[in-house]
Structure 1
């Protein structure tokens, strides 16, 4: 059969071997090819027939097997069909499933019963062991009872939401047994360590009653507490009483000595020990004597170590955790903090306290009262080593407390007689009183009156900074912050304390203004005065100049507030004149004059308050501001009148004259010293005042205009005199229209004023 699977090469059937694959076949070649293919086909068929005949038996066997397999397949199909019909007629699978469910249910029930039986065995064993522990406790076998409770804790299951209720019952039983053991041991500890308050004694009994058993060793009780893990609970009450009746008197009573004696010392077996605190009037030690206090404490703690805990480091360490935080706080509060020096030069003398503190803590570590490796227990040494910080902190608190009390308790009212007469006219008695409040300003050639609080506060700041040259960097930095904070207290306290006075026209407001001005000047000088005294690394940070602008701004704000309040009062008074209308009528004139009198009264009151307190330059500037407002307002009101009768001009002129005449004393306070003795009729003084108060020149000129003829007014305008006084052409034109009737002359004058081009 290989011929069937071989390939036929066309070129083998052709005669020409030089035939190219790309060249087409000729007709003779094609006919030859067809003939040879037919011959080859016949040859193949003959070979196939011969092969089939030679393997006839094999093919017959194959066909027989195929027929048999097909018959078996049909038979199996019939059997399956019959089985399916059988199952559909009788549901055997349901019976099998029910049987399997019964088997599974019975098996689960059997498992539950086995678990219940196992649980009952466990519960029975636990209850038996709990009962045994209680019996041991009653019999005085506290160590066995403690071990049983400890081991039972491992057997009791942890809480679970799906646990049997019996587990909760077991847990409650164990907790009840644990509480019983804990209470019995704590009671035994309390019976063994007794504090006799009246006799100031601590009695330790080595054997005490536990349950129904006498003579149980104290060490046995402590061992049992250690086993069950209740040392903290059992020693808590002893620790509290030890602090109250032994440690506190030992620290605070300088006349007491510590005595230790053993009970039945002559016998082979001691029954206990007693620690007594004996006071003696002949033996009095300074409460700040660190050596005596530390010595007494070491004796007490050594007694505890030897006679209560029998030199057991674990028990002693537990007791130390309960008591050391409070003991260290007591020592710091009653000894170390009080021993901190008050003067920076005495800080070095504190080294002896540091040495005693270190030795004391070393002794405690040897007795395992505090941990030898945990530095957090070295609380006393840490405090003592930072003595500079504590010294500086205490001084800072003292400085701030003193500054606060000074500001809260000081009065800011300068109740001085004849204070309003002017600073150059004080009597000797008044001058002496004023000298207490009079201070020099560092950067101004003037003196001002300040409150006692400000001067004392600045003195306190100077005292604080005077010690920086002898201080370390940390102390100097604290002093620097203390000085700054003391000054800031003024800014924080005084405006709140005197808020009511600051919102009214009051002398106190000006005193605070002077205080702020004085403090700002002093603050600017602090850096120059003390910067060289600060240690090198603090010099760059010791800056005060940043505070000065705040006080300067505060002073200016207070002054401007007073000016606004005064201006508001003057505005109300001028408004009462009703625009100075119809003053030719008696009633209207009286009303206007009353308003002028009110204005003068307010200005005189302000003069009396301001002149003695404010700096001369500040007084002149502030008073000129107020007067300028008054004069400009009166001038404006008169110039706004649209109809002025002839008699009315005289009355208005009279009102202006009254105003200026009644303010002569105020003008006198504003004049320079060189002109103070000149009369106001002389022009030099008025010229000086008009330079300081621009509206005064305009008001005085308005007084003249009210009595001038029309041509004179026009000529005065053309000369530029009115412009120099502050008038504008519209004001002059309206003034002329209000006084003079319409006429050709008035029109001519108005035209001349409008065309003068002086504005």
Structure 2
């Protein structure tokens, strides 16, 4: 039965398995033979470099014949097998798999054929200088190779050879494109950039060639062809990047930095030449309008002769989309060149006075025109930091003004202190006339018309200089510092709100800086030199005196919240007073220590009969007088009269107290000792008050300076000691006057008894006298 069915099917022509199987086996063997011949040919061509054009064409014909046979068999198998029963599927599955494998092999062979064709067409296009077509064929070969590498089972050795060939051809084309680019944009650069100067920059030239390709068959201009080919190969950005760096460093930046440098354009038949020329100028920094004009000339030239070329966007693959070369170059150079313009040009154009702010509108206008011109040439899209910087002139003015003020103030603080000027109650700081405060009719508070000083309860009027700073000497630098503070606050009253607030707090920062810098910078001199410590004391008092009213003078001319009470410097007054007082008190302590050290050489004023002891004591007294005299010379014309008298009185009192304590502690004073002690004390009494003698111009203060006991606390006690050294027992008892006399006012009972015991021998008269001292 089965043989009958088989015979029927075989005679009906629907099943010819054995015939198909044999044909497929023969076809498979042939495919393998062709595969081997193709691989061998590829290896010979790209690896062994053997000419094989004829054999390649024969193989192509054979491949096409095999493809048609495979297609015929495939269609026959699919039509016949799919109509058969399920049982026949398993029998033909192996045949189908083998056929699919052959199909894959043929696909690889077709791609190898396309790769070879792309390389051939690339070589022809490169020979004809059709760079766009050459680049496209090279990219096609690249994509084919990428597909081949993604297939599994392909021979790696063959693909490696193809990859090497593709790399060699790509580098070859880039070399040709580089040669063409160097002919289109030729640079002549200075020999060295280590010492860049105007003279070196004059050696810079840029030649832009405008000639088309010499090949008549190429319709695309050479420049467009080269740039489009570079874009296809992905090398355009690298070329423009290198070009942009040369353009920045050798043309654009020098034009901004050097005011005397100008660009010159020379037109030639082959293209244009851009070079530099110098123009004499005394400007240290070029004005912005001039810089913008020079830069616009260069960028317009570059745009016209190099960048105004339509380039297709290869990445998007859309023929309608174009790459704007000017925009690409603009993105590369704009950030750096705008920083240079700001740093070397716009910064120096910021006015230093608020009255010149209106003139800065011209700079803003020229900056805006410059950016609009660049937008027109597609270098820029939107407004950039350059225009924002120019428009933000008020903030930059305030920052620059504040910086200049702080620098000036610090230079004054670190200058010499001993250069002084005389300050009198009539001295005034010149303040510019302030405008009438806005909205002053709404300001609540007392008016400040010029009025006579108010009368007191007893109808005695205050003097004109009641609240004035007394006459003294201050550093010239401090006077200039205060003038700077007043001028800065006056500038703030004419500025807008943010600027005014910034300037006001800059003035506060000036005084904070003084508080920190001066005591540290001049620390050694303030400790060693008495005159400088006195001047520093006056400086601090002078600043504190002005700080009391400085804020009130400008309060209603400043914006909120300054006008609402924040504009004050009164909180800084105690700190400055303390700063001056501490420095001067430290000097006073040092001088006191020196006086006591000198008096320590007086042998405790004991045994004055010994000539050596007397000479030592006399020398110590002379040194004390000399020290006080020297201090008087350096302090008298510097310190205010009252401060000077208190300071000298305190030092003289220190010396007197030391002498009183040493003499009162003596247990035995002979007649000769008493005479010599009297002489020493008399020297102090006679010469000590001389340090209070007023200067000729201080004659009006003579009444204060003659009252020595006011400033020397132990002056009267010292005088009583001198009297005791020369007095008899009766005179001492009379001056005691039962504890009511002048001696009892200055000395205690024990001190008087001790002196009597030391001066007088133990007799009944001395005992009676001691008994009366109680």
TM-score of the aligned structures, taking structure 2 as reference length: 0.64
Among candidates 639, 652, 672, match of residue 614 of structure 1: 639
1:315 to 1:153, Cα distance in 2 relative to 1, 3 A: farther
Q: Deviations over 1:314-362 (max 9, x none)?
A: 4333211221123213333454334333431231232233233223323
Q: Which has the larger radius of gyration?
A: 1
1:396 to 1:660, Cα distance in 2 relative to 1, 3 A: same
Alpha-carbon contact 1:149-1:228 (below 8 Å) kept: no
Distance 1:543 1:718 in 2: 61
Aligned to 1:326: 336
1:203-218 paired onto structure 2 within 5 Å: 203-205=208-210, 217-218=222-223
Aligned to 1:511: 535
Distance 2:161 2:587 in 1: 83
Aligned to 1:542: 567
| Structure 2 residue 365 is matched with structure 1 residue 341 | no
Give 1:621 deviation, angstroms. 1.4
* Structure 2 portions without partners, runs of 5+: 1-104, 151-155, 189-201, 311-322, 430-464
SS at match of 2:472: strand
Distance 2:159 2:754 in 1: 110
Alpha-carbon contact 1:584-1:647 (below 8 Å) kept: yes
Give 1:293 deviation, angstroms. 4.5
Give 1:711 deviation, angstroms. 5.6
| Structure 2 residue 365 is matched with structure 1 residue 359 | no
Aligned to 1:636: 661
Give 1:447 deviation, angstroms. 2.0
Aligned to 1:472: 496
| Structure 2 residue 244 is matched with structure 1 residue 239 | yes
Distance 2:599 2:165 in 1: 96
Distance 2:416 2:526 in 1: 16
Aligned to 2:39: none
Give 1:594 deviation, angstroms. 0.8
Aligned to 1:736: 756
Q: Deviations over 1:240-273 (max 9, x none)?
A: 222244434655567857658585xxxxxxxx74
Distance 1:690 1:239 in 2: 87
1:87-102 paired onto structure 2 within 5 Å: none
Distance 2:161 2:711 in 1: 101
Aligned to 1:193: 185
SS at match of 2:327: helix
Among candidates 700, 703, 720, match of residue 722 of structure 2: 703
Give 1:495 deviation, angstroms. 3.7
Alpha-carbon contact 1:298-1:360 (below 8 Å) kept: yes
Q: Deviations over 1:399-444 (max 9, x none)?
A: 3333344444556245xxxxxxxxxxxxxxxxxx958999469843
Give 1:625 deviation, angstroms. 1.2
Among candidates 641, 646, 670, match of residue 645 of structure 1: 670
Give 1:601 deviation, angstroms. 0.6
1:274-673 paired onto structure 2 within 5 Å: 274=272, 276=274, 290=288, 293-311=291-309, 313-372=323-382, 378-410=384-416, 412-413=418-419, 439=427, 443-444=467-468, 446-539=470-563, 540-669=565-694
Alpha-carbon contact 1:201-1:275 (below 8 Å) kept: yes
Distance 1:726 1:578 in 2: 25
Q: Deviations over 1:438-486 (max 9, x none)?
A: 9469843522222221222222222222222321112223332443344
Distance 2:596 2:138 in 1: 94
Give 1:177 deviation, angstroms. 9.2
Alpha-carbon contact 2:255-2:291 (below 8 Å) kept: yes
Distance 2:683 2:142 in 1: 108
Distance 1:603 1:155 in 2: 105
SS at match of 2:714: helix
Alpha-carbon contact 1:143-1:224 (below 8 Å) kept: yes
Aligned to 2:135: 143
SS at match of 2:187: strand
Alpha-carbon contact 1:344-1:470 (below 8 Å) kept: yes
Distance 1:607 1:305 in 2: 80
Distance 2:140 2:560 in 1: 69
Distance 2:240 2:580 in 1: 65
Q: Deviations over 1:354-377 (max 9, x none)?
A: 2332233233234332343xx6xx
Give 1:565 deviation, angstroms. 2.2
1:516 to 1:151, Cα distance in 2 relative to 1, 3 A: farther
SS at match of 2:726: coil
Distance 1:646 1:283 in 2: 92
| Structure 2 residue 689 is matched with structure 1 residue 693 | no
SS at match of 1:449: strand
Distance 1:172 1:640 in 2: 114
Aligned to 2:14: none
SS at match of 2:567: coil
Q: Deviations over 1:716-745 (max 9, x none)?
A: 173244676443333334333433445666
Alpha-carbon contact 1:438-1:447 (below 8 Å) kept: no
* Structure 1 portions without partners, runs of 5+: 1-117, 159-163, 264-271, 415-432
Distance 1:585 1:382 in 2: 90
Aligned to 1:219: 224
SS at match of 2:667: coil
1:557 to 1:280, Cα distance in 2 relative to 1, 3 A: closer
Q: Deviations over 1:194-230 (max 9, x none)?
A: 2356585541456689xxx9x9933344334444544
Give 1:602 deviation, angstroms. 0.5
TM-score of the aligned structures, taking structure 1 as reference length: 0.65
Give 1:569 deviation, angstroms. 1.6
Alpha-carbon contact 2:652-2:688 (below 8 Å) kept: no
Q: Deviations over 1:34-56 (max 9, x none)?
A: xxxxxxxxxxxxxxxxxxxxxxx
Provide the alpha-carbon RMSD of the alignment: 4.9
1:119-158 paired onto structure 2 within 5 Å: 141=131, 143-144=135-136, 147=139
Distance 1:305 1:501 in 2: 66
SS at match of 2:573: helix
Distance 2:685 2:717 in 1: 13
Distance 1:177 1:741 in 2: 131
1:612 to 1:283, Cα distance in 2 relative to 1, 3 A: closer
Alpha-carbon contact 2:492-2:503 (below 8 Å) kept: yes
